[in-house]
Amino acid sequence: MKKRKTFQMLLDIIILIFLVAIDQYTKYIAVQKLKNQPAFNIINGVLEFNYLENRGAAFGMLQNQKIFFVFVAVIFLCVIAYVLVKAPQKEKYFKLHILLVMIAGGAIGNLIDRLRFDYVVDFIYIALINFPIFNVADMYVTFSTVLLIFQVLFVYKENDFNFLSFNQKKFRELK
């Protein structure tokens, strides 16, 4: 069982590194090709690449709050790490691992930008619905969070998360 846990954690780390690398590479390309350039149409009137230095959160909220964003990201990453370490080595938790690693990958990708530049590089714009400009890390977080909520609401049962209790014996006594 210990070998399986070690393998799962190694797999999580490899996937995480891969996701962060993809995010950082796409942002690097965006800086090289899009910065100080007009928007690049992919599908006219629908999708374009448009460089933006975002000093806020989603939809530009909380501008210039770097310390707050770094603090929140570190807290989220600690919670994710705790859940990944505590999750039982059963097949039904594989999707949980993948979704949490994707959320962590997005958080780390944007955290790297905030620490390096004091802003996050955004470049994907859906013009059709005038959606705020975003990046690959944002897609990781959004997509995986929606799927995680679906999993928690409709797939996992109440007792599937007993492993998160700090004291299993006390938790069982409360029931």
Give per-residue pLDDT as tens, 83-125.
Answer: 999 888 888 899 999 999 999 999 999 999 999 999 999 999 9
**Nearest one of 88, 127, 110, 94 to 11, comparing CA atoms:** 94
- Reduced to 3 states (helix: H, G, I; strand: E, B; else coil), residue 96 is helix
Please tell me the distance from the alpha carbon of residue 145 to that of residue 115, in angstroms, as a whole number.
Answer: 24
CA dihedral over 21, 126, 62, 142, signed as positive or negative: negative
Secondary structure letter of residue 47 according to DSSP = E
Query: Of 12, 113, 138, 160, which is the active-site residue?
Result: 138
- Report which DSSP code applies to 35: T
Q: Nearest CA to 31 among 1, 59, 53?
A: 53
pLDDT of residue 61 exceeding 70, the answer is no
Kindly state the tokens that stand for 59.
């939809």
Structural element, H or E, at residue 173: helix 168-174
- pLDDT per position as a tens digit, 125-152: 999 999 999 999 999 999 999 999 999 9
Closest CA to 151 of 86, 77, 97: 97
Contact 108, 59 (CB under 8 A): no
CA dist 140 → 16, 98, 157 (Å) = 11, 11, 25
Q: Is 138 a catalytic residue?
A: yes
Amino acid symbol at 101: V
Q: What is the mean pLDDT of residues 51-59?
A: 80
23 annotated active-site: no
From the candidates 12, 23, 113, 122, give the one annotated as an active-site residue: 122
What pLDDT score does 55 carry? 87
- Compute the mean pLDDT over every residue in the chain, rounded to the nearest whole number: 89
Question: What pLDDT does 58 receive?
Answer: 63
Task: Give the dihedral of Cα atoms 73, 58, 15, 118; nearest 10 deg.
Answer: -60
